[in-house]
Amino acid sequence: MTDTPAVLFVCVHNAGRSQMAAAFLQDRGAHRVDVFSAGSEPADRINPIAVEAMLEEGIDLRAAVPAILTTDAVRAADVVITMGCGDACPVFPGKRYEDWELDDPAGRPLDEVRVIRDEIRRRVEALAESLGV
């Protein structure tokens, strides 16, 4: 791992879970970690309920745009966190992989998305501790 670890969060649509996780880690790690997110089948836009849930935490995802998962993105990451992307995520030796089983916030009401958001925050905090950021 480099001096500044690179973390890639991946979910199917890159419109909820991975965007929230990336935003939490970026907020916590600032310049001590490089944070990226992508989706195996990106949506056209970020889930508006996820945006609303993150605004409650003081994090603004309104300008975020879903991105396609590329092999280069995985290759560049030290840590790859998957959230339901299954076999779509390429695997390279020497990288740290974690699969976070989290409900997809798509189509869920705000009260359910808050629960998902809070679980993501908890996991991101543990990840940040393990990376020393």
Which member of 22, 80, 83, 85 is catalytic? 85
| CATH at residue 22 | 3.40.50.2300
Q: What is the mean pLDDT of residues 84-88?
A: 64
Assess whether 11 carries a catalytic annotation: yes
Question: Which residue among 7, 10, 11, 69 is the active-site one?
Answer: 11
Among 89, 116, 127, 128, which one carries the catalytic annotation? Answer: 89
Q: Among 31-45, 67-81, 82-96, 116-130, name the one with the lowest average pLDDT.
A: 82-96
User: Could you tell me the residue range of the domain that residue 42 belongs to?
Assistant: 6-131
Supply the pTM of this predicted model. Answer: 0.93
* Within-domain flag for 46: yes
Cα–Cα dist 22/111, whole Å: 21
At 93 the pLDDT is 82
Query: Which pLDDT value is given to residue 3?
Result: 81
Residue 77 lies in a domain: yes
**Residue 1 placed within a domain:** no
Domain assignment present for residue 54? The answer is yes
Query: For residue 30, is it within any domain?
Result: yes
Pick from 3, 19, 4, 13: nearest CA to 116: 19
How many structural domains is the chain composed of?
Answer: 1
User: How far, CA to CA in Å, does 118 sit from each of 4, 24, 53, 68, 75?
Assistant: 26, 10, 10, 25, 29
Position 86 scores a pLDDT of: 61
Q: Is 89 a catalytic residue?
A: yes
Residue 17: inside a domain:
yes
pLDDT in tens, 8-37: 999 999 999 999 999 999 999 878 999 999
